[in-house]
Amino acid sequence: MNSLIDSVVSTATVAETKYTAKDFASDQDVRWCPGCGDYSILAQVQRVMPELNVPREKVVVVSGIGCSSRFPYYMNTYGFHSIHGRAPAIASGLKIARPDLSVWVATGDGDGLSIGGNHMIHVLRRNVDINILMFNNQIYGLTKGQYSPTSEMGKVTKTSPVGSVDMPFNPASLALGSGGTFVARSLDRDPKHMQTIVKRAAEHKGTSFVEIYQNCNVFNDGAFFAFTEKETKPDTVVFLEHGKPLVFGKDNDKGIKLDGFSPVVVSLKDGSHSVNDLLVHNEKDSTLAFILANMTYNPELPRPVGIFLAIDRPRYEVEMEKQIDSAISKRGKGSLEKLLNSGDTWVIQ
Amino acid sequence: MEKETRVLDEVTIRFAGDSGDGMQLTGGQFTNTSAAMGNDLSTLPDYPAEIRAPKDTTYGVSGFQIHFGTTEINTPGDHCDVLVAMNAASLKVNLRSLIDGGIIIVNTDGFGDKNLKLAGYNQSPLSDGSLSKFQVFQVDITKLTNLALADMNLSQKVVDKTKNFFALGMMYWMFNRTLDNTIQWIQEKFEKKPELIEANTRVMKAGWNYAETTDIFAVKYDVKPAPLTPGKYRNINGNQATALGFVAAAEKANLPLFLGSYPITPATGILEELAYFKNYGVKTFQCEDEIAGITSAIGAAFGGNLAITTTSGPGVALKTEAIGLAVMTELPLVIVNVQRGGPSTGLPTKTEQADLLQAVYGRNGEAPVPVIAASSPSDCFNSAFEASRIALKYMTPVMLLTDGYIANGSEPWLIPEVKDLKEIPVKFRKDPVDYQPYQRDEITLSREWAIPGTPGLEHRIGGLEKHVKTGNINYEPENHHTMISLRAAKVERIANDIPPATVEGDESGELLLVGWGGTYGTIKTAVERKRKEGKSVSQLHLHYINPLPKNLGEVLARYKTILVPEINLGQLIKLLREKFLIPAVGLNKVQGLPFRSIEIEQKIDEILGGKQ
Ligand SMILES: Cc1ncc(C[n+]2csc(CCOP(=O)(O)OP(=O)(O)O)c2C)c(N)n1
Ligand code: SF4
Ligand SMILES: [Mg+2]
């Protein structure tokens, strides 16, 4: 379509400028609590951005409300800090209207899965090409520490003085169940891993859903320490790598084997199993993705971290453009004159 | 036998039958033919609320009313002069809208024992004398249709589907209409099914011939063309006109059009209409809910589209928080509320004007939004266009109010010339030097539109209060007051950019009726009738409700009494009293129905005294 925005859309030159992470830092003071995991996420995203070869003016970060949703203010890109839970819908509209943009969503476990849960599942099934970073701190940070839809059962907070009685979501399973085509999990305290995942998310064509375990050191300190700290991490986390067997443990002495559809831990040390017996990750296998995601919260199993699924499926905004193109080629580019004069008309002399 | 022809100025016909009887189609054909013959007209469909109500029950009745004439026609008619009833239930439901002495044409086959029982009749109204004050024509349409098609070897189902054309044929005879338009329509519609062309055409002609030859019809009527403004016309309902208004605005603003919406009666028609305009580059996004409808549109607006969202009252309730976001971020957006009966789910298929205060005030915080109301089906085109213009020029969400009555009602529309539609100038900020997101134009107070993709203008917007210049988050007390005042002043300034309120009638006088929205035609009819009687009564219809036209206070002051008819318990009247401190009088009815002009006439008489 010929329109005013064409000139803006078509300035889509490949970034000639060599950006550094600093180019993506805005002039605003970052106001998260000292020690908050959000700092790390911001740093990793700013580090990855220059590698994406996207002109800075083409990047838009949309967020809802929450500590995590302050994210856009700190990015020197276009940004939209919206209302609680609605970022996926705003981002969808923006991406559909402007497929030339690189659209990101920063959201929290409350923002993205509670008040905005409906938009989240729908953007995933539509597979709009946006990148969603879900900062999971298992708590409502901004409102000062109420339990969230990812808080573990029995969570004691000000609004659940004797413990919460609701079952938490497993975000990865929810995203897969919604038809997500890129579903991953990373850790605030594993910068390298997060950079890899964020980069892969950016490269994925379709909705990317990245759950990031994020420490809220004020209201839910240490919620993920078992998975993020040096001492425990090797035995509590299994990293998913495409084409590689699921090995974990301090000395790579344990692995995950499939027993029917159930993953079980086996020892690679006692001679009963070898690496060849282990489950080999395949991020293109959506059935496997469900099995792996379902390991989450199973106390017998290590926590899976990495890319559960990365598959291609038609993207909403691309399919829509195709329909428009096909309508134009079939019916001709619409003229207002013709449109106004369509239907049964008659002339009064 | 040579039959008598009487000339009439105007007639209202209501076609009624079971929802499967094709009454909408029949009414639509009668409308198109009458329009092509040069009558002015106005129509209103009356659908059952149930999608597939049990056959022959009263809640499965579907009706279509057309009011056409030699004179100017402003409403679909208070009452009907002619009622076509295809079964007992449709007679039962619609009889009360027929005038005394009116004509009833019934399909006797629809009055069997079973039909009567389902309609709730203990005995047949056709034989118990209860219809004695009407002229009843009993025709076995089903039998005559079967006879006409006897040699065609069609299934009974197909034959049954054509019987509405028999009724249409009779009505064409009775009102001296040509069959040509409908024959042509049948040929186009059933292009690939020659047997249906033959069957429908034959049955329609059979109906016409039957009326011509049988003794029971002695009189036919002629309604001569109306003195309409010359030009090209089409029939249009409010939802279609709204959709076209947005397409036109997008073209004149040189922007792509984006609609985010969630289906809801009676607004869905706009989404359906726009979804079809893909070759105009229109993007329609059917969302998961109304909140996504508006927020996706806000996203598209941020991206530089003409963005709109369409819904009805319950949907506006859900969008409320997001409207505030659009106010705060100062992005252009049009929210269409096709009002229906409320509160809550209310009367989904019925009309009401009870969302006016919601439109003007219904948000948290000081969140002023311009409000525009369409006054008739075709006026929806202008209103959608104008709402877009204001949204784009003032960088603000605009609420456009229509209602179920004008959304579904239709009237002939003098198709505008594209070149006569005003351009909507839009400029995106491109220059990175000294860019401040909340810098304002001195006259309009609107901020600049800087869309993603523009190098050097990277900036952040959001719902938090922002600094008056930089747009950075700011919680300082004075700054907040300044921003609140600026946003209010911006909307107030739109008053400099809209036409003054005009009166139809006298410059000053005893009584002025002030209306808004879909009541225009009815008020006009009532006021004109009373003026013909010599009464000092005039009409002022408001298209802009926030801000109000600048001259309004001064105009209102020239009349002794101000009467405000509304399909609510008095909402515009509150705004007028508040703003002008005048003791206006209300006329209020909230039955899910439009006013009848007679109701307004009675109120005028009451105020002015019966004979004056
Ligand atoms: C409509 C609405 N309801 C409630 C709130 C209050 N509120 C703000 S943030 C928040 C929870 C945020 O939790 P999360 O998304 O997990 O973000 P975090 O602060 O933990 O990063 C709530 C309840 C709001 N701003 N808007
Ligand atoms: S409250 Fe928690 S999540 Fe929010 S900024 Fe502080 S540490 Fe981070
Ligand atoms: Mg949280």
Domain boundaries, chain B: 4-222, 235-420, 503-608
Pick A80's closest partner by Cβ from B283, B322, B462. Answer: B462
Is ipTM > 0.95 here?
yes
> Cα separation of B106 and B543, whole Å?
42
Question: What was the pLDDT predicted at A16?
Answer: 63
Determine whether domain B503-608 maps to CATH 3.10.290.10. Answer: no
CA-nearest residue of chain A to B29?
Answer: A344
| C-beta A214 within 6 A of ligand 2 | no
Q: How far is Cα of residue B6 from the mean position of the Cα atoms in its chain?
A: 33
Cα separation, A148 vs A169, whole angstroms: 9
Average pLDDT over residues A249-266: 97
CB contact under 8 A, A57 and B454: yes
C-alpha–C-alpha distance, residues B66 and B11, integer Å:
8
The overall average pLDDT reported for chain B is 96
pLDDT of amino acid A10: 78
Instruction: Please check whether residue B300 touches A, CB under 8 A.
Output: yes
Query: In this predicted model, what pLDDT tens digit does every residue of A43-76 receive, in sequence order?
Result: 999 999 999 999 999 999 999 999 999 999 999 9
- How, if at all, do strands A262-267 and B40-46 pair? unpaired
Among candidate residues A293, B98, B549, A210, the one with its CA nearest the CA of residue B540: B549
Q: Which domain holds residue A158?
A: 9-229+314-340
Query: Could you identify the residue written with the tokens 């004509």?
Result: B103
Ligand 2 mean position, distance from CA B438 (Å): 29
Ligand 2 atom closest to residue A137's alpha carbon, by position in its atom list: 3
CATH number of the domain enclosing A13: 3.40.50.970
Distance A182 CA to ligand 2 centre (A): 27
Residue of A nearest to B424 (CA): A4
pLDDT given for residue B51 in this prediction: 75
> Which CATH code is given to the segment(s) B4-222?
3.40.920.10
Q: Which residues line ligand 1 (CB under 6 A)?
A: A 65-68, 84, 108-111, 135, 137, 139-143, 148
**Whole-prediction pTM value?**
0.96
The protein residue with its alpha carbon nearest to ligand 2, atom 1, reads A141
Residues of A in contact with B30 (CB under 8 A): none
Interval A160-180 mean pLDDT: 98
Per-residue model confidence (pLDDT) at position B48: 78
Helices (H), chain A: 6-9, 38-48, 87-97, 109-110, 117-126, 171-177, 191-203, 225-228, 233-236, 286-293, 316-331, 336-340
Which residues line ion ligand 3, judged by CB < 5 Å? A 108-109, 137, 141
Distance from CA of B258 to the nearest CA of A (A): 7
Q: Residue type for B396, please?
A: T
Whole-number Å distance between alpha carbons of B280 and B282: 5
Radius of gyration of chain A (CA): 23
In a domain, A280, yes or no: no
CB A139 within 8 A of CB A220: yes
Band of residue A1 on the pLDDT scale cut at 50, 70, 90: very low
Residue contact A5–B305, C-beta within 8 A: yes
Q: Report chain B residues whose CB lies below 8 A from the CB of A89.
A: 260, 287-288, 291-292, 295-296, 299
Tens of pLDDT, residues A117-126: 999 999 999 9
Give the pLDDT confidence of B542-556 residue by residue, as tens digits.
999 999 999 999 999
**What phi, psi does B486 have (nearest 5°)?**
-65, -45
B235-420: CATH topology is: Rossmann fold (3.40.50)
**For B420-432, how does the pLDDT look when each residue is reduced to its tens digit (9 = 90+)?**
999 999 999 999 9
Question: pLDDT class for A157, splitting at 50, 70, 90?
Answer: very high
At residue B515, does pLDDT exceed 80? yes
Instruction: Return the ligand 2 atom nearest residue A35 CA.
Output: 7
Summarize the confidence of residues B232-253 as an average pLDDT.
97
Distance in angstroms (rounded) separating the CA atoms of residues B274 and B246:
9
Residue A70 half-sphere exposure, CB side, CA atoms within 13 Å? Answer: 17
Q: Which residue has the tokens 């950079």?
A: A195
With 50 as the cut, is the pLDDT of residue B211 above it?
A: yes
Is residue A15's pLDDT more than 70?
no
Minimal CA separation from A183 to chain B, in Å: 21
Q: What is the pLDDT of residue B610?
A: 58
Report CB contact under 8 Å: A82, B298: yes
In B, which residues are within 8 Å of A91 by CB distance?
299
- Verify whether the Cβ–Cβ distance B299 to A80 is below 8 Å: yes
Burial of A338 (0-12, 13-18, 19+ CB in 10 A): middle
| A-chain residue closest to B181, CA distance | A344
- Tell me the average pLDDT of chain A: 96
Q: Is the model's pLDDT at A210 over the cut of 60?
A: yes
Classify the C-alpha dihedral B529-B532-B536-B537 as positive or negative. positive
Residue B258 near residue B308, CB atoms below 8 Å: yes
B185, B280, B453 ranked by CB distance to A8: nearest: B453
Report which bound ligand comes closest to the CA of A138.
3
For residues B36 and B182, is the Cβ–Cβ distance under 8 A? no
> Beta strands A345-348 and B231-237: pairing type?
antiparallel
| pLDDT tier for residue A7 given thresholds of 50, 70 and 90 | confident
> Percent of chain B beyond pLDDT 70?
99
The verdict on a CB contact (< 8 Å) between A122 and B230 is no
B503-608 and B235-420 share a CATH fold:
yes
A108 CB within 6 A, ligand 2: no
Distance A107 CA to ligand 2 centre (A): 13
Q: Does B486 touch chain A (CB under 8 A)?
A: no
Mean pLDDT, residues A307-335 taken together: 96
Residues forming beta bridges with residue B16, ordered by sequence position: B63, B85
B447/B278 Cα distance (integer angstroms): 31
Atom of ligand 1 nearest to the CA of A85: 15
Q: Has residue A32 got a pLDDT over 50?
A: yes
The answer to whether residue A282 is domain-embedded is no
3-state DSSP call for residue A107? strand
Q: Is residue A281 part of a domain?
A: no
The answer, yes or no, to whether residue B221 has pLDDT greater than 90, is: yes
Q: What pLDDT digit, counting tens, does each position of B340-391 carry? A: 999 999 999 899 999 999 999 999 999 999 999 999 999 999 999 999 999 9
Q: Which residues of A touch B296 (CB under 8 A)?
A: 89-90, 92-93, 96
**Contact assignment for A347 to B233 by CB distance below 8 Å:** yes
Longest dimension (CA), chain A: 99
Atom of ligand 1 nearest to the CA of A112: 15
Question: Does the structure show a pLDDT above 90 at B81?
Answer: yes
Over residues B557-574, the pLDDT tens digits come to 999 999 999 999 999 999
Judging by DSSP bridges, how do beta strands B306-311 and B333-339 pair with one another? parallel
B462 C-beta neighbours (distance < 10 Å), count = 23
A71 close to ligand 2 (CB < 6 Angstrom): no
pLDDT of residue B53: 85
| Residue B611: pLDDT over 80 | no
What whole-number distance in Å separates Cα of residue B42 and Cα of residue B39?
10
**Least CB–CB distance from B258: residue in A97, A323, A327:** A97
Task: Write the residue in B291, B307, B452 that is nearest to A58 by C-beta.
Answer: B452
In this prediction, residue B612 carries a pLDDT of 46
Question: How many CB atoms sit inside 10 A of residue A346's CB?
Answer: 16
- For residue B606, the Cα-to-chain-centroid distance in whole angstroms is 29
pLDDT band at A251, cuts 50/70/90? very high
CB contacts of B234 in chain A (<8 Å) are 341-346
Torsion of CA A146, A151, A153, A156, to 10 degrees: -30
From chain A, pick out residues whose CB is under 8 angstroms from the CB of B298: 82, 90, 93
Determine, yes or no, domain membership for A285.
Answer: no
Binning pLDDT at 50, 70 and 90, where does residue B609 land?
A: confident
Q: Is the pLDDT of residue B55 over 50?
A: yes
Q: Is the CB of A38 under 6 A from ligand 2?
A: yes
Closest Cβ opposite residue A72 in set B235, B454, B460: B460
- In testing the pocket of ligand 2, which one of A30, A67, A137, A188 has its CB within 8 Å of the most ligand atoms? A67
Q: Could you tell me if residue A17 is inside a domain?
A: yes
Tell me how many domains chain A contains.
Answer: 1
The helix/strand/coil state of B255 is coil
B602 pLDDT more than 60: yes
Distance CA(A191)–CA(A186), nearest Å, equals: 9
Confirm or reject contact between B219 and chain A (CB < 8 A): no
A65 lines ligand 2 (CB under 6 A): no
DSSP B96: G
* Mean local confidence (pLDDT), B90-119: 96
Residue A142 CA to its chain's centroid (Å):
20
Phi, psi of A39, rounded to the nearest 5 degrees: -60, -45
* Closest residue to A345, CB basis, from B233, B416, B426: B233
Q: Does B388 touch chain A (CB under 8 A)?
A: no
- B449 CA to centre of own chain: 33
Helix H segments across B495-534?
520-532
Pocket test for ligand 2, best of A137, A188, A213, A224 (most atoms within 8 A of CB): A137
- SS3 for B541? strand
Ligand 2: atom nearest CA of A38 is 8
Ligand 1 site-directed mutation target among A111, A151, A212, most atoms within 8 Å of CB: A111
Confidence tier at A11 by pLDDT (50, 70, 90): low
Closest CA to B397 of B314, B302, B288: B302
A13: pLDDT confidence band, cut at 50, 70 and 90? low
Q: Which of A31, A217, A224 to mutate to test the pocket of ligand 2 (most atoms within 8 A of CB)?
A: A217
What part of B 252-271 touches A (C-beta under 8 Å)? 253-256, 258, 260
Mention every residue, 6+ apart, whose C-beta is less than 8 A from residue B282: B247, B250, B256, B257, B258, B259, B274, B275
Count of A–B CB contacts within 8 Å? Answer: 234
